Structure 1
Amino acid sequence: MEKTLLPETRIRRSVVRDILAFHNRPDMISMAGGLPDPDSLPVAAIARAAQYVLARYGARALQYGTAEGYTPLREYVAAMISRNGFPTTPEQILITSGSQQGMDLVGRYLLSSGHVYTTEPMYNGAVQSFELQGATIHSLDSDDRGPTARSVQKLAQQCHRNHRKEQRNPAFPAGFRSLSGFFGSSSTQTESNGTRMLYLLPTLGNPTGAMIPEQRREEIRQALKGSGLWLLEEDPYGDLIFDGSRMSQLSQGYESQSLLLGSFSKIVSPSLRIGWIRARAELIQEMVPLKQAMDLHTNLFSQMILHRFLEDVDLELHLRNLRQIYSHRMEAALAFLRDANTGWEPESIPAGGMFLWIRTDVDSDALARAGLAEGVAVVPGSAFFSRPEAGRYHFRINFSAVPVEELRAGIERLSRAYRRVKES
């Protein structure tokens, strides 16, 4: 059953603020962030790339760039997506300052008193971004593999009826309305009561690690056709499936009204702040003025460094190394959780990614605070729900950034915190 979510996510997580305040304490073992393994960050290769860029391009690398992004990097991203089975041209790529900016851009472009449909638990940064654009967030029925096909089919049927009315009275996306008259006609349309958009992270979703199976992806694609519903697909973890396989992009086959977000933060470096949007070339061109108004362009030097790095290294070898490390750490974390004798169980065993989503029988906000006192940080389930109480008996562990021995020590500390909460 679809539920309308409360607009409460605007930096409202007091327990998360507590975690951030303690995060850099020297004795703290942090299993809270969504960080890649520090020892696997390619420091030497990035240094070589930076030296190469400065030596070859000199002052050009330190100048302004274009809002669309550095052309060779756009070409690389387009080729990368095409190799993964989704034919793409550079004109369909907009380079962003991380995928978070991509979400903000999409929100500004499409949403303003619109509606976003998604699943819970969910990445709260996306919900915060959409609500800042005035969108109303709705939750779809889901299971441990993502939204049910039936819930999307019901939504699509409802939107199809509205879309037929919309076609008789087209309008510009609310977020783009002020620019459309100046920059020409928009190729998009919105309903009188606001754009409707489906936001999904179908591969190794945060925080659960859920992965929509291929058959269900196809059922969702078929349901969306003709509905007038926009699809925003985010895919930061698609290269981190442990067996090296790849899932198809949900956007493929629904390109008329879909946007795909990607990022290099999880597989190369978060601090470079480089992500991308893949959409129809016409949509990309319509979003360029918004991107330019936000920050002129993504850091050109970072783009050039990243492009040189990608040309210089064997990226697949780097990814295989990450997958091996993360798989080993996840198995170790699962063993340590069993040994803790707390009854903690993951909702499911992810096929990849960085996180475990754990059930507990105590209030997870209290557990997270008690954990800080013991010197360990995790994220309580309340951070991933619009109604915080819905996440009361879950918490998220990050295993990718924590060596095995620290995972052992961190879970031991967390089990002591659990017993303190249990006895209180």
Structure 2
Amino acid sequence: MSHNFANRMQSVPRSFIREILKVTQDPTVISFAGGLPNPALFPSEALAEAARTVIADHGGETLQYSTTEGHPPLREWIAARYRERDGLDVSADDIMITTGSQQALDLMAKVLIDPGDTIVMESPGYLGAIQAFSMFEPKYETVNVTADGPDLDALERALAKNPKLFYAVTSFQNPSGLTYSDEKRQAVAEMLKGTDTVFAEDNPYGDLRFAGERQRPLMAYRPEKSLLLGTFSKIAAPGFRIGWVVADPDLRHKLVTAKQAADLHTSTVSQRIVHRWLEDNDLDEHIAKICDCYGTQCNAMLTAADEFFPEEVTLTRAEGGMFLWAEMPEGCSSMKLFDLAIKEKVAFVPGNPFYVDGRDANTLRLNYTNAVPETITEGMKRLGKCMKDYIASL
């Protein structure tokens, strides 16, 4: 059947990871592909108790329509945490609750991007953002991510083109696992001051630090014309689809209008359950458990890589988050490696979808949060063998 689709759909890639996850449904496949939190760490019992409480005590309000901006006590809780931990001058009025932070990307693109507008992306960059932004047909300028943040010379050249938007994941970047240093955050903020470029800082992984020192959001150094995205998907449970965006009044009002057209408001039930859980439990204690577990899993992956990967393959050394980024020698194809690896019952995400130019990449993303250390070791052993065989065949 033939359909007359909108032109914008021609340039929008399908979610590569969602396609790979179909392959990994086989229980014999060890998957490092999905960006999945460890379900053993979901606070299921505490959330169930929170659900019972809000339905029993506030059933009518909990099951009713709500305001687009979101549940006021939840917004105030988020704002208070920013004020106390990061020294940000943020109030509940500055926050809009979204259906996951992925919706914030979509709404941001609707509000800011016209066809042909220039936007700046990290390279490699988050594929969910690439998918959301490509719907609106922008021109991309890319900036390489180094061990401590963006290539500042490349960013300066990109900003000279007066881009509409600069999007970045500043802590434990997806896919690389790398983090902007405090020095780079301040340098980027100085470069953005005086420009018309909106800076969108996505921070889904910032709380998942198991080594090193916590950094303040870049918004602390350049609050004007900035957006800050957050989510409970990585620290509570992704099934609730509760995210948020911090924005100045002009931006926020436009985002609210766009959200009203999209879904009226995020699930009232989910918002109230999450807020009740936050009020009745120690979030920092819960996060500490997550970080302890992820630190062990990350160390298992790094140790196995040192033992089983070829010397020619390099790997990032993350201090938190959910991912490591491997790079094979020039001329290698992670897609060809994937075909070999899946035959050995191990999966990863090839680097291709993390680049806006569609290159045949020699890089790959590895997730360590959804497998126990013993499984990680076995999977890395299988993958290391595939790498050695593939490189030797070139």
**Equivalent residues of 1:153, 1:220 under 8 A apart:** no
Q: State the partner residue of 1:204.
A: 172
Q: State the partner residue of 2:37.
A: 36
1:91 aligned residue (87, 90, 93):
93
Q: State the partner residue of 1:78.
A: 79
2:308 aligned residue (323, 336, 340):
340
Is 1:378 the equivalent of 2:361?
no
Corresponding residue pairs, total = 381
- Residue deviations 1:171-222, cap 9 Å, x none? xxxxxxxxxxxxxxxxxxxxxxxx6111111111111111111112111111
Q: What aligned pairs does 1:11-410 form with structure 2 within 5 A after superposition?
A: 11=13, 16=17, 19-84=20-85, 85-113=87-115, 114-159=117-162, 196-243=164-211, 245-343=213-311, 345-361=313-329, 362-389=332-359, 391=361, 393-410=362-379
**Equivalent residues of 1:367, 1:417 under 8 A apart:** yes
Unaligned runs of 5+ in 2: 1-8
> Structure 1 CA distance, aligned partners of 2:48 and 2:15?
37
- Superposed displacement of residue 422, structure 1: 4.5
TM-score (norm 2): 0.91
TM-score (norm 1): 0.85
Task: Please report the RMSD computed on the Cα atoms of aligned residues, expressed in angstroms.
Answer: 2.1
Per the alignment, in what secondary structure is the counterpart of residue 395 of structure 1?
A: strand
- Residue deviations 1:391-420, cap 9 Å, x none? 2x2111101111101101211222343355
Unaligned runs of 5+ in 1: 1-6, 160-194
Per the alignment, in what secondary structure is the counterpart of residue 389 of structure 1?
A: coil
Q: Identity of aligned pairs, percent?
A: 34
> Structure 2 CA distance, aligned partners of 1:53 and 1:244?
38
The change in CA–CA distance for 1:116 and 1:274 in structure 2 (over 3 A counts) is: same
The change in CA–CA distance for 1:8 and 1:82 in structure 2 (over 3 A counts) is: farther
1:412 aligned residue (372, 381, 389):
381
> Structure 2 CA distance, aligned partners of 1:214 and 1:221?
11
- Superposed displacement of residue 423, structure 1: 6.1
**Equivalent residues of 2:309, 2:388 under 8 A apart:** no
Per the alignment, in what secondary structure is the counterpart of residue 238 of structure 2?
A: coil
**Equivalent residues of 2:175, 2:354 under 8 A apart:** yes
> Structure 2 CA distance, aligned partners of 1:311 and 1:105?
29
> Structure 2 CA distance, aligned partners of 1:45 and 1:344?
46
**Equivalent residues of 2:68, 2:260 under 8 A apart:** yes
> Structure 2 CA distance, aligned partners of 1:42 and 1:276?
20
The change in CA–CA distance for 1:117 and 1:310 in structure 2 (over 3 A counts) is: same
**Equivalent residues of 1:9, 1:124 under 8 A apart:** no
